[in-house]
Amino acid sequence: MARIQSSSQNHYLVILCGGTGPRLWPLSRADFPKQFLKINSQYSLLQNTVIRSKKVVPSENIFIVSNESYLSTIKKQIGTLIPLKNILTEPEKKNTTAAIIFASTYINSLHPNPIITTLPSDHHISQVDKFVSSIKQSGLTASKSNKIVTIGIKPTSPNPSYGYIVPNTLFVEKPDVESAAKLIKMGALWNSGIYTFSYQTLLSELATHQKDIFNLSKLIQNQPTDKITIKNFFHQVPSISIDVAISEKSKNLTTILANFTWSDIGEWKTIYKLISPKLNTNTKLDSNTNFLEINSSGCLISSNKNKLVGLVGVTGLAVIDTPDALLVCHLQDSFQVRDLITKIVKDKRIDNYFLKSYEPKKSN
């Protein structure tokens, strides 16, 4: 396999923007998920991701891949940050493997032999200059080594919502708490979900570990812009994450330890830690929230500006109130909100409490 020289000209960033954010219910809904929300910022998570990405590569080298149902919202939020033609839409939601193949193949059809970094649209990252340096280093490493480059995060707790990487040894996607603790003792890092690779390396890994998906990918390799072909590919490809499809199986991963501050905005506990000035403080999600407390601590509260929340004798709760739904859970258990959403969507009488927003939201 020929080695490819990496530069900002042939380095492309693909922002994955198709998730539904179930663990941040009831604010995050299937038709307006968390990446479009403004959380502790004047910009949405997606907007912040694009703004960071523009510091790594030129705007024309940044692509967004998402479900076609989100196209209008993305256009409103992105404006002129990147060319609108760089927003690629999936006809079906089929997880990250399909999205990455689709976007990477499309980019390769325009710019042969690219180096591609894929990254989620819903993470919080500070120390942006260090993030920029890490992504550029990933691009250079991927071009010189023909490996898939991951960025690992030093863990602060055994969180079951993350994947874990023991560098050059092992990758485990979302283990239970006990297994995660054992992995951390082995020197494991959190998987940031940021991958960098050459297009040829992606195809090689698919051919090795996912032969059926590789064969399906030939459909869009031959006709990368044909809408009928793309629809046919998405209809047939299995729904599987890139972590499970390749990362857990590959012997061709290398890891860079992040030196920037990173947080996966995946659950209410994470958000509490992000915005709370100190532990055990009662913290409101935004300035509209009003609450009073007696003998209560360590809670995260969000409510409509016309509603007062009272807390008496409680500790470590998320109290997230919207006009049509209320979530009360221990912050420590907030990763289980996903299980609650599974119950909601299985019941046709109440599935709209997740599938539909309670009111139109402004996105700018």
Predicted pLDDT at 64: 98
Contacts of 285 (CB under 8 A, 6+ apart): 39, 271, 275, 300, 301, 302, 320
The backbone torsions φ and ψ at residue 50, rounded to the nearest 5 degrees and listed phi first, read: -65, -40
Predicted pLDDT at 159: 84
The whole-angstrom separation of Cα 306 and Cα 29 is 22
Omega before 224 cis (within 30°)? no
Contact of 319 with 329, CB cutoff 8 Å: no
Report the b/e string of 329-340 with b at 16+ CB within 10 A: bbbeebbebbee
The candidate with the shortest Cα–Cα distance to 122, out of 185, 158, 77, is: 77
Predicted pLDDT at 360: 42
Q: Report yes or no on whether pTM surpasses 0.75.
A: yes
Predicted pLDDT at 49: 98
127-182 pLDDT, tens per residue?
A: 999 999 999 999 999 999 889 999 999 998 888 888 899 887 889 888 988 999 99
Predicted pLDDT at 54: 97
Q: What is the CATH number of domain 11-264?
A: 3.90.550.10
Task: Collapse the DSSP code of 98 into the 3-class scheme (helix H, G, I; strand E, B; otherwise coil) and give the result.
Answer: helix
Contact of 170 with 79, CB cutoff 8 Å: no
Residue ranges of the chain with pLDDT lower than 50? 1-6, 360-361, 363
For the chain, the structural domain boundaries read 11-264, 268-355
Predicted pLDDT at 174: 85
* Range list of H helices, the chain: 45-53, 71-78, 95-110, 128-145, 177-185, 199-209, 211-222, 227-236, 242, 268-275, 337-346, 352-355
